[in-house]
Amino acid sequence: MVLVSSDGAKPLRTAGLETVAVIIPVRNEATTIGQVIQALRSLGLDQVWVVDNGSSDGSGAIAAVAGAQVIREPVAGYGRACWRGLQNLPPTIDWVLFCDGDGSDDLSQLPQFFDRTATADLILGNRCATQAGRACLTTVQRYGNGLATGLIFLGWGHRYRDLGPLRLIRRKALDRMQVRDRGFGWTVEMQVRAIECGLRICELPVNYYRRQGGRSKISGTIWGSLQAGVIICSTLARLYWRKLWR
């Protein structure tokens, strides 16, 4: 594994993993969060921040026992939880990894992400590029991905393949992007802002599993999926309007 230091100097080896912070937004993932943290730590990722976004099942306590630093964010919102986690990072962190706490991400593939840090600023997991990933995405998720990535291509000229949760980004680049959304639009705004900021973007094929426990807040219900679609489209409309008036 290789990492690049924040000043662009020669790549760091495995010892550089202490410059990577993992942020995991969590709400009621008690059955899976401990295993996710253990998997990350087995890879040498010890800087793990779990943002407890209003859990009622003891997820935060389990995460703390597993070795994560737990932050409480009572106001619901995926983007708000991610933003809260970023406010607590020490200055020694050069890279930020976002992943889910439900066990759906194949974390064993993370070394491939680290291998790309010499040539990329934003590295995204593409679930649509693997058979395992496609099989676990619902019809609504596949349709939503196609719609969102198609709209991004029409508006900004870059063809993404997925809006997946597993993503590694250079901290300086993330600071420059100034992502404003505090809800489910966080991920799509990050990908649009990456284009606007001229970041070097890389998508890697990743496996994806059905959640190992708990219940999805988005794809688990038709209403949740419809809400997510509306949020994504309205976020893209807002960003495109802002682009036109710059």
Averages of pLDDT over runs of 10 residues in the chain (246 residues) are 43 68 97 97 96 96 98 95 94 97 95 94 96 88 89 96 95 95 93 98 94 56 65 91 87
Would you state the structure tokens that stand for residue 9, as one six-digit string? 């100097």
Q: How many CA atoms lie within 13 A of 3 on its CB side?
A: 26
Would you state the structure tokens that stand for residue 164, as one six-digit string? 């997946």
How confident is the model at residue 6, as a pLDDT? 44
How confident is the model at residue 144, as a pLDDT? 84
- Per the CB < 8 A criterion, the answer to whether 26 and 33 are in contact is yes
How confident is the model at residue 221, as a pLDDT? 54
Q: Chain-centre distance of CA 111, in angstroms?
A: 16
How confident is the model at residue 10, as a pLDDT? 42
How confident is the model at residue 9, as a pLDDT? 41
Q: Taking Cα atoms as reference points, which of 55, 23, 54, 19 lies closest to residue 37?
A: 23
Positive or negative, the CA dihedral 155, 156, 160, 164 is: negative
How confident is the model at residue 2, as a pLDDT? 41
Number of other residues whose CB lies within 10 A of the CB of residue 110? 27
Q: What is the value of pTM for the model shown?
A: 0.89
* Domain 14-244 is found in CATH 3.40.50.1110: no
What CA–CA distance (Å, rounded) separates 177 from 175?
6
